[in-house]
Amino acid sequence: MRFLTTYGRAISLLGREWRTGALLASANLAIAGIAFLDPVLFGWVVDLLTRSTQLPTDQLWPQAVRLLGTWAAVGLTGIVASMLVALLADRMAHRARKHEMARFFGHALALPPAFHGQMHSGALMRIFFSGADSLFGLWLGFFRDQCTTFVSVLVLLPLTLILNWRLALALIVLVVVFAVLTALVIARTESKQRGAETYHNKLAALAQDALANVTVIQAFTRLGLERRRFAEVQQQVIDHQFPVLGWWALVSILTRSASTLAMLTIVVLGTVLHLQGKAEVGDIVTFMGLATLLVGKLESLVSFVARLFAAIPTLDAYFTILDAPSSVPEAPNAPALAVTEGAVAFEQVDFAYPNGPAILRDVSFTAAPGSVVALVGQTGAGKTTAMSLLQRLWDPTHGRITIDGQDVSAVTLESLRETIGVVFQDSLLFNRSIRENLLVGKPDATQAEIEQACRLAEAHEFILRQPQGYDTLIGERGTTLSGGQKQRLAIARALLKNPRILILDEATSALDAATEAKVGRALKALMAGRTTFVIAHRLSTVRDADEILVFDQGRIAERGRFDALVGQGGAFATLVASQLTPAPDSNVVPFPVPRAA
């Protein structure tokens, strides 16, 4: 059963805490035993009291002292065991959660773009935090309650058979009713609960998406619409959750009735048996106590199962993510990439995104060490994709990519990515200070190195103008900076990394002509001696490239130096011409402007 597998896996995560776990389990065993002994001792006391008038004093008192002494010892053991549980269980659960969250976080960060492309970061966050919280609650619940309950039900219940099998039977029937009802309801509501979970994740994704794009929502006056969409998904959650709750309410009513019935049975059956001489009054008292205890335990178990049941889809999602393999796995014992010169070669590379059409077709080219290769072509032609294959964010579906003759898929990812510096098409900055964003390029950079890189990237001055200079926080994705400022930070970050191979994906597209010229000079200095790939729509930026690759729908349609390509009069020449002369506007169709009614 899926339910038990997930529960078992969650508990087994405590493997590294097995010492504390074992101690807690023993304490639980003691607590369960004592809980069982209590009513038994009570029954014996009652028996002794009923016989007290017939017993001579010299027999009564020693018996009473022995009984009460045992009871006191049992009580003391109970106190010690409960203290152990109170002291250790919480700490252990906190430690284990810390460990698990760190593991999950590291794993999620290492998952390939194929994974992150499919899962919204909002949903991922929800699964991450709810999953970790569910695990925490589960571990704590296990050692605080369930462990004792399991022991009581599985071990001690059969022992009651020895005390009085006829009365014990009533208790056993009660447990079976609980178990069957719970299993039935789980089976009935499992799919609904999963549905509710799906909509919960959708809700998280929706909220994150909307909050991250709050500017768009406000500018396009979509407030009401977004709120309605949110409310719709909320309604879906409720629609899926309510029937499940209804079923659990029914279980709780039925189990309560079963408990009352079990009590009545014990009293009636006990009285009948007593009249027949088959049960002492003490037996009846003992079984009443045991029944009360058991009912309490079973009720808390049912409510725990209901809670766990609600958490199972999250836990399943949590484990599925933990089990997700990297789609660009490293070969076992893969060596580090040994860069000697920095020669890059694409050999008949084909690529398609999962379940998507072909994006790159038969792409072959070589970039000599230290050369500048430009990738140009219409938007969507596959330029960024080609460069993401070089960083091995994805693997080609056919062909191979080598750096200095080593297949990028045969070396460690870390060594590969350390070799390559990228200025991304979107600047992609952290919600941290400017300095911390720059240190991403080189964690141990000195202030002097940081400033040098920023001067080269024409960023130093605007940084000094920020309220706290290099320590200014720049907001989520750098919202407090202008597009050009973000780009200059991204360039400075890449400069600091000082990589052997550099990818500039529209690195200067957001800069004005004067700043671009200045940054361009810095980039030229940076490119010297390293193999560089420049992706640019503004063709003036690629004038000096050693080779220009013109991409057309995933193929390299033309290749050569700037002047030669212009001379050929092909696609590139047309592109250049279109950038020099403005498009004729004779056949512009006017878009109707709304007028006030």
Interface pick for ligand ATP out of 108, 273, 290, 359 (rule CB under 6 A) = 359
Does 382 bind ligand ATP (CB under 6 A)? Our answer is yes
User: Per-residue DSSP letters for 298-360?
Assistant: HHHHHHHHHHHHHHHHHHHHHHHHHHPPPSSPPPTTPPPP--SS--EEEEEEEEE-TTS-EEE
Number of residues that bind ligand ATP (CB under 6 A): 12
Over 29-89, what HEC string results?
HHHHHHHHHHHHHHHHHHHHHHHCCCCCHHHHHHHHHHHHHHHHHHHHHHHHHHHHHHHHH
Contact in structure between 526 and 495 (CB atoms under 8 Å) = yes
Confirm if 565 and 550 have CB atoms less than 8 A apart: yes
Tokens of 566: 């212009």
Query: Residues 107-126: x/- map of binding to ligand ATP (CB under 6 A)?
Result: ----------x---------
* CA distances to 126, 204, 205, 432 from 119, in Å: 11, 12, 9, 24
Contact string 207-246 vs ligand ATP (x = CB under 6 A): ----------------------------------------
Which among Mg ion, ligand ATP, none contacts residue 437 (Cβ within 5 to 8 A by kind)?
A: none
**381 touches, from Mg ion, ligand ATP, none (C-beta below 5 to 8 Å by class):** ligand ATP
Based on the shown chain and the rule CB under 6 A, indicate whether residue 392 belongs to the binding site for ligand ATP.
Answer: no
CA distance 12 to 139: 10
DSSP calls for 17-33: GHHHHHHHHHHHHHHHH
Residue 364 CB partners (closer than 8 Å, separation 6+): 346, 347, 348, 349, 399, 556
Among 75-83, 373-381, 426-434, 512-520, the segment contacting ligand ATP (CB under 6 A): 373-381
Cβ contacts of 467 within 8 Å, gap of 6 or more: none
For the CB of residue 398, give the shortest distance to ligand ATP in the complex, in Å. Answer: 17
Q: Does 381 bind ligand ATP (CB under 6 A)?
A: yes
Segment lying near ligand ATP (by CB under 6 A), choices 76-84, 374-382, 445-453, 494-502: 374-382
| 379 vs 447 by CB, closer to ligand ATP | 379
353 binds ligand ATP (CB under 6 A): yes
Please choose which of ligand ATP, Mg ion, none residue 356 contacts, taking the beta carbon within 5 to 8 angstroms, the exact cut-off set by kind. ligand ATP
Say whether residue 549 binds ligand ATP (CB under 6 A): no
Closer by beta carbon to ligand ATP, 57 or else 379: 379
**356 binding ligand ATP? (CB under 6 A):** yes
Least Å distance, CB 536 to Mg ion, is: 10
Q: Which is nearer to Mg ion, 425 or 498 (CB)?
A: 425
Q: For binding to Mg ion (CB under 5 A), which residues are involved?
A: 384, 425
Residue 385's binding partner, choosing from Mg ion, ligand ATP, none, with beta-carbon cut-off 5 to 8 A by kind? ligand ATP
- Residue 343's φ and ψ, nearest 5 degrees, are -85, 135
Give the nearer residue to ligand ATP in terms of CB position, either 438 or 494: 494
Choosing from 425, 433, 452, 553, the residue that interacts with ligand ATP (CB under 6 A) is 425
Q: Is 586 in the site for ligand ATP (CB under 6 A)?
A: no
CA angle 473-478-483, nearest 5°? 135
Q: How far is CA 67 from CA 8, 143, 163, 515, 557, in A?
A: 41, 30, 18, 93, 97
What's the rounded Cα separation, in Å, for the pair 376 and 24?
65
User: Which of residues 193, 385, 427, 532 is near ligand ATP by CB under 6 A?
Assistant: 385
Write the DSSP symbol of residue 500.
Answer: S
- 528: helix, coil or strand? coil
Which of 239-268 are b and which e, b meaning 16 or more Cβ less than 10 Å from the residue's Cβ?
A: ebbeebeebbeebeeebeebbeebbebbee
421 binds, among Mg ion, ligand ATP, none (CB under 5 to 8 A by kind): none
Angle, alpha carbons 343-346-348 (nearest 5°) = 155
Shorter beta-carbon distance to Mg ion: residue 208 or 425? 425
Residue 106's SS3 state is: helix
Q: Which 280-309 positions form the footprint of ligand ATP (CB under 6 A)?
A: none
Task: Tell me whether residue 270 or residue 377 sits nearer to ligand ATP (CB atom).
Answer: 377
Among 384, 415, 431, 452, binds ligand ATP (CB under 6 A): 384
Which range touches ligand ATP (CB under 6 A), out of 161-169, 378-386, 434-442, 559-567?
378-386
Query: If binding is defined by CB under 6 A, does position 379 make contact with ligand ATP?
Result: yes
Per CB under 6 A, residues contacting ligand ATP are 117, 353, 356, 359, 379-385, 425
